[in-house]
């Protein structure tokens, strides 16, 4: 069998190494050395200090995610604990809300909690008239000492 024959064979003896003299080995000259910075700069622009971005107005997308702040008695009580509540788009998730709040108010939230309320039946005189809106709310926890102006 061919497979087992290969395993039985002994490896061929390699040729003995020749004596290498120090004079035969080439040593790179000091002028031939390339520095890492020379190699990286070839074909690339020089490193410049990054410019600070100008404070831009919040994008339209941020205002589409944060529909409006909730101005209720319960939300004003939560504001004393640095928790702000907003009506948000039904397609928004926690990450999008966090980025939108940071973009609009300039402060990164600590956490975001999202609540969905299902539409409920509206009845009048025992008859079905329609449904209430499907609403999604976000309760955003801000760092201590942060005050957001929600009335603007």
**CATH number of the domain that residue 119 is part of:** 3.30.70.330
For 85-111, what is the mean pLDDT? 94
Tell how far CA 98 is from the center of its chain. 11
Burial of 84 (0-12, 13-18, 19+ CB in 10 A): buried
User: Is the model's pTM score more than 0.85?
Assistant: no
- Whether 17 maps to a domain, the answer reads no
- Whether 42 maps to a domain, the answer reads no
pLDDT > 90? residue 65: yes
Structure tokens at 128: 């079905």
When the pLDDT of each residue in the chain is averaged and rounded to a whole number, the result is 79
Q: CA-CA-CA-CA torsion for 12, 18, 20, 26, nearest 10 degrees?
A: -60
Q: Which of the two residues, 2 and 115, has the higher pLDDT score? A: 115
- Whether 94 maps to a domain, the answer reads yes
- Whether 28 maps to a domain, the answer reads no
- Whether 2 maps to a domain, the answer reads no
- Whether 90 maps to a domain, the answer reads yes
- Whether 30 maps to a domain, the answer reads no
pLDDT at 71: 92
Q: Read off the pLDDT band of 122 (50, 70, 90).
A: confident
Output the CA–CA distances (angstroms, integers) from residue 149 to 4, 10, 63, 107, in the order listed. Answer: 82, 84, 15, 12
- Please give the residue range of the domain that contains residue 87: 60-141
- Whether 38 maps to a domain, the answer reads no
> Number of folded domains in the chain?
1
For 9-30, what is the mean pLDDT? 60
């Amino acid at each position: 069998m061919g497979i087992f024959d290969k395993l039985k064979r002994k490896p061929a003896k390699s040729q003995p190494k020749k004596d290498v003299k120090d004079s035969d080995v080439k040593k790179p000259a000091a002028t031939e050395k390339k520095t890492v910075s020379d190699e990286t700069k070839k074909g690339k622009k020089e490193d410049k200090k990054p410019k600070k971005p100008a404070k831009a107005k919040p994008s339209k997308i941020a205002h589409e995610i944060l529909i409006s702040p909730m101005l209720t008695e319960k939300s004003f009580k939560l504001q004393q604990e640095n928790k702000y509540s907003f009506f948000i788009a039904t397609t928004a998730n926690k990450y999008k809300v966090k980025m939108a709040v940071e973009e609009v108010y300039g402060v990164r939230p600590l956490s975001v909690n999202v609540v969905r309320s299902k539409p409920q039946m509206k009845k009048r005189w025992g008859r079905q008239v329609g449904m209430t809106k499907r609403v999604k709310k976000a309760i955003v926890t801000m760092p201590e000492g942060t005050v957001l102006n929600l009335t603007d």
